[in-house]
Structure 1
Amino acid sequence: MRVLGLISGTSHDGIDAAVVDFALRDGVLHGHVTATASTPYAPELRARLRAALPPAATTLAEVCALDTLIGQAFADAAGAAPRVDAVCSHGQTVYHWVEGTRALGTLQIGQPAWIAERLGVPVVADVRIRDITAGGQGAPLVSYLDTLLLAGLPGHPAALNLGGIANITLPGKLAWDTGPANALIDAAVVRTGAHPAGYDVDGALAARGRVDEGVLAALLAEPYYQLPPPKTTGKELFHDGYLEPFLGIEPADLVATLTALTARTVADAVRAADVDTLVVSGGGAANPTLMRMLGAELPGVRLVASDELGAPRDAKEAIAFALIGWQTLHGLPATLPSCTGAKAPRILGTITPGAGPLRLPEPAEAPQALRLTVSEEVAR
């Protein structure tokens, strides 16, 4: 079954897509990644989305409009992909309601009916809330893929995704958001006008700047870091207003300090878990300054790109949602209670039918491992 995974992450800069052709053999799910793509949001849409996100106030009229416009943008991205049998769309998170360490609700927008109408195939969407209703965090959902993908690796491996927020998975044991990855770095670049791209291209600003130890200490005093996992966070906490007390220092120094914050908070989590191999993915994995700082914090830990396990670092989350779609359509849970904190595994999402009758595949046995391969076109 060919499933298209779609997601726009915490950085809300565009839509990542991955087509995976899945086949289950002898308890192992084999996934061949045949296509990946990243489609930026139109500047006007991204600006409109940013203006509506917390802590800004918005209206139900604007939420409705953004649900439609983002749904249409996802449909456009899906329409550019090769032909598939089904889609799993994460949509765009606009609010993740957390009090203390308890997740109470979550809202992803990007109406999936636009995708179903465009492609004529079933679309799995709204995938986080079922885990929350079972007492879980609704995140990090990538922990299911991580656990299957890292199955059989020697020692004490863990997976790290450096998106807008950083999350870590101890396979089959625990998963949580460690804190910001790119969220505050990007916000600092935008607020200070340090680079027209709106992010620290190749980590050059951080490399040029100096870490302000006083500011770093103040940032590390954030109570979130002391909360026990499983826990989740997002732009509801780590938004650009969070930086107001620190905007007086030189922009490059601020970016360097925020990069050090990400490296330190990730490293604290890795050290506490006695990890010896860290499989890294996400946009932050392409930031050489961040990776250099992380390596300096973790001299005894081997850092491995997720590409080595068949999951291109920029597409791993899209692959994870393709996997969630496959699981849901085969009547299988895609959560691990030990990772999200839920009382039991749950089948995720709702299904929007495509054209014609909705025909689901026969239920399958839960896979025990995942093996990914990548087409030559993707590898290039």
Structure 2
Amino acid sequence: MRVIGLMSGTSCDGVDAAAADLELVGDSLLLEPLGAWSEPYGDEVRTSLAAALPPGAVPLGRVCALDTLIGQAFAAAAVRADRELCASGAELVASHGQTVFHWVESGRVRGTLQLGQPAWIAEATGLPVVADFRPRDVAAGGQGAPLVSLVDRLWLRGRPGVPVALNIGGIANLTAPDGTAFDTGPGCALTDAAARHFSGGRDGCDAEGALAARGRVDPVLLERLLAEPYYRLPAPRTTGKELFHPGYLRAALAGHGALPPEDVLATLTRLTAVTVADAVLGLRATEVIASGGGTRNPVLMRELAGLLPGVALRSSDELGLPSDAKEAYAFAVLGFLTAHGLPGTDPASTGARHPSVLGSLTPGRDGLRLPPRPERAPVRLVVGGGAKAGRDGDRS
């Protein structure tokens, strides 16, 4: 089955699209990457989205407009992916949408909201769409995140030692082989907020860590930031820009005295590295496979490597999944599982009472024809060349 995965993460900068040819062979799910790319949001979407994110307050009319605008942006990305990446035509679209609020009270997730109306995608492509993945896990008592943990466990199964999958987006999250998965804290959320603040909105991020590289870590500010109670919550735990937003940064800097922008960026970069490294070391990891936009920041990656002596730190690209598109590929897998009636969650990762088949289905132009449910769910994910080799095995 050829599936297009669409994702926009907590950095809220655009749509990542990835196309995959997926096939269940025995107990293995074979994934052949067909290509991926990113499409930045247009100015109207970026401006409206920035105003709507916490701690902003917007009327319902703007929420409705955003749902449409983001849905149309995802639809355009799906059309392009179908045309350019799927020579034989896609059969399904899996759209994560754009998270605008993750409602957490006393460590319990009460609700989660992703915008990007899937009807626009179905109308534009004619394909069935799986969307709204997270609420089912929340309804089952889970955190609704990180949903990629099931895919990570399938993908890393069989690797020696204790491999940990790490994604550094706006928020950083990781998954361990035993299913432990959680958000470690801010990935790029606070560094992005600082870059926008100090540039007057001109820069959306500290590109390649240029500012942080020129700065010095301020130990007093770092200690204040590390006092955040979130870091001491037990797993599973999730967070988002409901906590780590520009106002949070302003409050941390208040009363601290004037610091050069480069020192603030250096300190925030160290914060991300320390909180990720503490989480990795707590899991006794022997290997970290990293993905996400944060991996493009060499300062952050050097800091992280320095805090993880003896732990191999490599990119997901080395294992066949592009670091910038890994989550889009992961949602293509989750969409495939949903279309086949298979669970897409691991209770060990999200804290849910039971596994759940995720998402809601929007029929395509020709209605909705679902494939038969397999007798068994996959226990491993094989990517790329290994997937081709696996096609010689028994099929199911």
Q: Helix, strand or coil for the counterpart of 1:80?
A: helix
**How much has 1:374 moved relative to structure 2?**
7.4
The one-letter amino acid paired with 1:17 is A
Q: CA deviation at 1:56?
A: 1.0
User: What SS does the corresponding residue of 2:384 show, helix, strand or coil?
Assistant: strand
- Summarize the alignment of residues 96-245 of structure 1 with structure 2, pairs less than 5 Å apart: 96-193=102-199, 196-245=202-251
CA drift at 1:171: 2.2
Task: Determine the structure 2 residue equivalent to 1:367.
Answer: 378
Tell me how far apart the structure 2 counterparts of residues 172 and 317 of structure 1 sit (CA, whole Å).
20
SS in 1 for 2:372: coil
**How far apart are 1:194 and its partner, in Å?**
7.6
Deviates more, 1:166-175 or 1:240-249: 240-249
Unmatched runs of 5 consecutive residues or more in structure 1: 376-380
Conserved? CA contact 1:112–1:123, under 8 Å: yes
Among all aligned residue pairs of Structure 1 and Structure 2, give the percentage whose two residues are the same amino acid.
58
Once the 2 structures are TM-superposed, how far is the Cα of residue 243 of structure 1 from its aligned partner?
Answer: 1.0
Superposition map of 1:269-280 within 5 A: 269-280=279-290
Shift of 1:344: 0.6
Q: How many corresponding residue pairs?
A: 375
| 1:282 and 2:316 aligned | no
- Is 1:34 aligned with 2:45? no
Letter in 2 for 1:249: L
In structure 1, the residue corresponding to 2:335 is in which secondary structure?
Answer: helix
Partner Cα separation in structure 1 for residue 215 and residue 43 of structure 2: 29
- Tell me which amino acid in the other structure corresponds to 1:187: A
Aligned to 1:69: 69
1:197, CA displacement in angstroms? 3.3
Considering only aligned residues, what root-mean-square deviation do their CA atoms show, in Å? Answer: 1.3
Q: Secondary structure at the residue paired with 1:93?
A: strand
Aligned to 2:322: 312
1:44 aligns with 2:54: no
Q: Partners of 1:89 and 1:363 in 2: how far apart? A: 21
Listed one character per residue, the Cα deviations across residues 283-305 of structure 1 (whole Å, up to 9, x for unaligned) are 01111100000011111110011
Separation in 2, partners of 1:208, 1:299: 24
| Change over 3 Å in CA distance of 1:63–1:142 after alignment to 2 | same
Provide the C-alpha distance between the structure 2 equivalents of 1:179 and 1:159, rounded to a whole number of angstroms.
15
- 1:23 has 2:23 as partner: yes
Counterpart residue type for residue 225 of structure 1: Y
SS of residue matched to 1:144: helix
TM-score using structure 1 length: 0.97
Deviation string 1:318-355 (CA, Å, 9 cap, x unpaired) is 00100000000000001100000001100000000001
Please, which runs of 5 or more residues in structure 2 have no aligned partner?
83-88, 387-396
Q: 1:120 to 1:374 in 2, by over 3 A?
A: farther
* Runs of 4+ in structure 1 over 6 Å off: none
1:263 paired residue number? 273
Distance 2:385 2:379 in 1: 20
Match of 2:85 in 1: none
Give the match for residue 344 of structure 1: 354
